[in-house]
């Protein structure tokens, strides 16, 4: 059986000036990590692309979770939604997945540059960067054929909740496993989880205390109600 992974990450949101010290690392021109036995240096561009072009803690925790080996990515086909810097998709590829990494059109050049800079040539053949806005043009992507969804910090804009759920509905089969790494900041975040539970069985599978990030596992319910 061919395994397919979907990896969901950051939606594109414009830059807003913020001088909080806690956010200063997001305004650095790059962020460095070591995952899957590779040193990674992700370019960041907070002023140009806002939250889509910085590495958030949820992406780091998702990569940590993948490294634990609880999900076998070897040979899987993957699609990352709202990929931002591409960290999660890059790590998934290094762990053996074949990944289509997607975001909205304005972020694609930046995303492509990060992928090219951080993946050895033999891994780059396993990655495609592609445009996708949640809820739009879904027919360009295969329906109901995917086994795994990974999402890092995608729950923060209420206006995106319904198109995001529509996108997951399109891409997921009844056997797909969804993994979402989330920081629960506001009531709207729990509201999204409530919406997700109308279509999916949802459970908490991991909590990273230092960064206050939860990883949730979700699987489609056999009988679903319309959004």
> Tens-digit pLDDT profile for the chain (227 aa)?
445 555 554 444 443 444 444 556 777 899 999 999 999 999 998 888 888 889 999 999 999 999 999 988 988 888 888 888 999 999 999 999 888 888 899 999 999 999 999 999 999 999 999 999 999 999 999 888 778 878 888 888 899 999 999 999 998 888 888 889 999 888 889 999 999 999 999 999 999 999 999 999 999 998 655 55
| Cα separation, 118 vs 44, whole angstroms | 13
Q: How much is the pLDDT for 144?
A: 85
CA torsion through residues 155, 148, 33, 49, sign: negative
* Per-residue pLDDT reduced to its tens digit, 37-61: 999 999 998 888 888 889 999 999 9
Burial 202-219 (b: 16+ CB within 10 A, else e): beeebebeeeebbbbbbb
**Structural domains of the chain sorted by starting position, each given as residue range(s) with its CATH number in brackets:** 4-15+24-220 (3.40.50.150)
* Per-residue pLDDT reduced to its tens digit, 5-32: 555 544 444 434 444 445 567 778 999 9
| Cα separation, 138 vs 165, whole angstroms | 12
Three-class SS of 171-225: HEEEEEEEEEEECCCCHHHHHHHHHHCCCEEEEEEEEECCCCEEEEEEEECCCCC
The model's pTM is 0.86
Tally DSSP H helices, then E strands, for the chain: 7, 10
Is residue 108 a contact partner of residue 84, using CB atoms and an 8 Å limit?
A: no
Q: How much is the pLDDT for 38?
A: 97
Q: How much is the pLDDT for 8?
A: 54
* Helix/strand/coil for 101: strand
Q: Report the half-sphere exposure of 139 (CA within 13 A, side-chain side).
A: 0
């Amino acid at each position: 059986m061919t395994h397919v992974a979907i990896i969901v990450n950051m939606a594109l949101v414009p830059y807003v000036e913020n001088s909080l010290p806690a956010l200063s690392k997001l305004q650095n021109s790059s962020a460095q990590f070591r995952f899957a036995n590779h040193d990674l240096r992700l370019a960041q561009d907070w002023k140009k692309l806002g939250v889509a072009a910085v590495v958030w803690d949820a992406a780091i925790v998702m990569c940590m979770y993948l490294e634990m080996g609880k999900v076998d990515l070897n040979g899987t086909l993957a699609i990352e939604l709202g990929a931002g810097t591409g960290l999660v998709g890059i790590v998934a590829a290094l762990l053996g997945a074949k990944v289509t990494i997607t975001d909205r059109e304005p972020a694609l050049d930046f995303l492509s540059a990060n992928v090219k800079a951080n993946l050895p040539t033999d891994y780059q053949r396993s990655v495609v960067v592609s445009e996708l806005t949640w809820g739009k043009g879904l027919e360009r992507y295969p329906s109901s054929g995917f086994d795994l969804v990974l999402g890092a910090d995608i729950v923060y804009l209420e206006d995106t909740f319904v198109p995001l759920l529509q996108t997951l509905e399109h891409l997921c089969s009844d056997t797909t496993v969804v993994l979402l790494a989330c920081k629960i900041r506001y009531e709207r975040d729990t509201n999204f989880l409530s919406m997700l539970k109308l279509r999916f069985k949802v459970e908490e599978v991991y909590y990273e205390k230092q960064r206050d990030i939860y990883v949730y596992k979700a699987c489609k319910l056999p009988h679903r109600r319309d959004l």
